[in-house]
Amino acid sequence: MNRIVQKFVDLKQAKQKGLVVYIGAGDPNLEATRQLALAFDQAGVAILELGVPFSDPLADGLVNQLAAQRGLESGTTPPKLLATVAAVRRESQIPIVLYIYFNLIHRVGLERFIKDAAQAGVDGLLVLDLPPEESDNYEALMRKAGLCHIYLVAPTTPEDRIELIVKRGSGFIYYVSRIGVTGMQTSVSDTLPAMTAKLRAHTDLPIAIGFGISNPEQARLVAQHGEAIVVGSAVVNQIAQYGQSPELVRKVGEFVQSLTQALKG
């Protein structure tokens, strides 16, 4: 069974909520990415999302844009990232999703990229700018490779389109809990109960809620409405703060541990 699918089965059986952590791959370098992945596994992270550095990250706010820039500056490329995923796989079975823009896949070739990702140990792709209407061949290749194709739903998505998107997705549905780009927020959206109810009316897939969750209190609050929460910018911000410090992995790992503990409380 795909690691993402298995993880949500395990969480449901344990009556627990999952923490999905997003970081920019190669920020500050790929060895740090490998070490952070292992630290997150130890901290109880359910799924790791690795942002593949791209020059035009349109869905991202400043914190993650800067992480992408640092990843590019460290020389991170899709093949080097897949080699890092393979290195993680030698020590960990943490489910891994690549958060990626389609241009990077197109450059390599769709079939080859998916095959290489699966061989490296990737479990799913979240392609930010590939709508379901243009995904027939992509979805077929992903199913053949045993990978989950994960789609986003936003607060502004009309209900008929929600139905289309969630029926096409696999692994989990990523619900973007607010309008705009990624980034830390001081409050939680008050539309969460209504929107997650709309999603559940059309799918049995787990729902992971993200965009803006910044601290353990918000994590605990948002987790009431989904099977998992996604924390990205708040973790990336810690990496930016400690990126050149020998304490990087320990400090970021402690912050992530505070989030996993909040979900158990």
| Catalytic hit among 27, 49, 123, 227 | 49
Q: 212 in helix, strand or coil?
A: coil
Catalogue the long-range contacts made by 133-137 (C-beta closer than 8 Å, 24 or more residues apart).
135/168, 137/110
204 in catalytic set:
no
Q: Which residues contact 3 (CB under 8 A, 6 or more apart)?
A: 93, 94, 95, 96, 123
Task: At 20, give phi and psi (nearest 5°).
Answer: -100, 125
227 in catalytic set:
no
CA dihedral 257, 258, 261, 263 (to 10 degrees): -110
Task: At 92, give phi and psi (nearest 5°).
Answer: -150, 150
Q: 152 in helix, strand or coil?
A: strand
- Is the Cα torsion angle 187, 191, 197, 201 positive or negative in sign? negative
Which amino acids are annotated catalytic? 49, 60
